[in-house]
Amino acid sequence: MKLTKKSKFPRMRSSEKGVALIVTLAVLVLATMAAVAFFSRVTGNRLVEASRSSQIQSEQLVRSGVEHVIGKFVSNITSTNNSTAITVGNSTIYRPKTQRDMIPARDVSGLIATDAQFTNLILQSLNGTSTSDPAPSGRAITMTSWNAPMLLGGDGFINNSTVPTWVYLNRDGSTSSVPSDASIGRFAYNAYNLGGLLDINAFGHGGNFSATDAQTKGTPASAVLGALPGISATATKSNDSISWPPTWRIPGDWGNMTYDPASDSAEPLKYYMSSGWRVPLSENGTATQRFFANRQDLIRYAQANPSTFTINGTQIPALQYLTHWSRDIDLPTHEPPAGRPKVVNDLAAGGNDAYGMDDALNPSLLTVTKLGNTPSIKKRFPLPTLDGIDPSASRRSQRQSG
């Protein structure tokens, strides 16, 4: 008789085997989910990092483009053909040789160089592949994009041969007009001169000025914006839809436009007459005007008010004369020109208390030196810095120096 060896492990019942199978399957499912989650996270992180890397490369390319344009302007300023270098102590100041040399030399497509509609355009990227030519991906920069700032007259860019061309950036930091194996990116640009445009946040009024008031310095409100080509000449302050500037931008009583220092009936005009011509209206340190914060605000407003603004296809002609910002409003000049406009009336006659004191209050900084014959003021600075010495100093400087 043969005896069977008894196992030291107890035999599992069928129900117990079923439970073990369920537990095993659950563990496999959890392990599979963890693995999928891990690889999904890795893949997601890779995509995020790739996007982040592309963003950084794009930002660096933009900076390179900006530095390229700035270099063009700096080269123009320091050229011996355009300026004379003056050394004062350790500082070098470049004095323009002629009045024409005070503004950047123009470098644009020859097809538009003499076209009055492109007066604001002063610099383009040239001599390369047109930005209107599609890339291998099929993408291109259209004339609509180049016209978007609305700083040109007429129809703006209407010919692909007049738009900017590509500048190719190489690995060694150099640029070229044609692509090569060393190219790592490309950029193109238009540069506009906004210095002569009217700052819509400080110019314009809703009433009428007398001839005497309109001639005095310090009155941006005297600008009759309705006289600009492309703005309705009948625009009044009675209705936002046909007024310019809009009534919401300049609150206050504009009914009496005669300047009277002792009266509050013409508060906006009183402010402009006494505070200088480059800053918007404010009272007690609180801005009472409403602002166009950027050019897109101005463009959207003009597009929404065709009864005030003439719209020519995709362009709004009046916007070539307007900007929301056109200068560093509180920076002194190094050497004011002798023939500059000066305060023409005293305070009682509608001018300000700097009458007859222009040269004393706004002298050439080159003549203000300290021990060792070095400039006391080496660079321009925001006038509100003076408020640390006297709370009203910056306001007086604005008023006295214009």
For residue 130, what are the β-bridge partners? 165
Q: Which residues contact 235 (CB under 8 A, 6 or more apart)?
A: 225, 226, 242, 243, 244, 308
**Same-domain status, 298 and 383:** no
Count Cα neighbours of 104 within 13 Å in the Cβ-side half-sphere.
21
* Statement: residue 233 has pLDDT above 70: no
Q: What integer pLDDT is reported at residue 339 of this predicted model?
A: 76
Which residues pair with residue 231 across a beta bridge? 309
Lowest-confidence range among 3-17, 88-102, 159-173?
3-17
The pLDDT of residue 16 is: 57
Residue 375 counted as domain residue = yes
Domain boundary among 77, 100, 123: 100
Q: Where are the beta strands (DSSP E) in 264-345?
A: 282-283, 286-287, 322-323
Q: Are residues 239 and 311 in the same domain?
A: yes
Between 57 and 123, whose confidence is greater?
A: 123
334 located within any domain: no
How far apart (Å, rounded) are the C-alpha atoms in residues 194 and 326?
6
**Among residues 279, 278, 256, which one has the least CA distance to residue 267?**
256
- The answer to whether position 21 is within a domain reads no
Q: Is residue 167 a part of any domain in this protein? A: yes
User: DSSP label at 312?
Assistant: B
Residues 85 and 114 in one domain: no
The confidence score (pLDDT) of residue 221 equals: 64
CB-neighbour burial class of residue 399 (10 A; exposed 0-12, middle 13-18, buried 19+): buried
Provide the pLDDT for residue 184.
87
- Considering its fold, how many domains does the chain have in total? 4
Both structure tokens of 386: 């003076």
Whether residues 86 and 203 fall in one domain = no
> End of a domain among 192, 216, 240?
192
User: H or E segment at 77?
Assistant: helix 14-78
Q: What's the average model confidence in pLDDT over 195-201? A: 82
pLDDT at 189 over 90: yes
Q: Are residues 244 and 311 in the same domain?
A: yes
pLDDT band at 266, cuts 50/70/90? very low
Mean pLDDT: which of 44-53, 214-223, 284-293, 349-358 is highest?
A: 349-358
Name the token pair of 60: 């660096």
CA atoms within 13 A on the CB side of 160: 11
Q: Is the dihedral of CA 364, 365, 369, 374 positive or negative?
A: negative
Say if residue 51's pLDDT is above 90: no
For residues 275 and 175, the model is more confident at 175
Residue of higher predicted confidence among 57 and 66: 66
pLDDT of residue 228: 83
**Residue range of the domain that includes 66:** 38-100
Query: Between the ranges 193-207, 233-247, 326-340, 365-379, where is the mean pLDDT highest?
Result: 193-207
Which of 161, 192, 223 lies at the terminal end of a domain, its last residue?
A: 192
0.85 exceeded by pTM: no
Torsion of CA 356, 361, 363, 367, to 10 degrees: 120
Q: Which token pair is 183?
A: 């190219």
> Length of the chain, please?
402
User: Does residue 260 share a domain with residue 318?
Assistant: yes
- The answer to whether residue 66 sits within a structural domain is yes
Least confident of 34-48, 286-300, 305-319, 367-381: 367-381
Same domain, 147 and 202: no
- Do 180 and 231 lie in one domain? The reply is no
Domain membership flag for residue 13: no
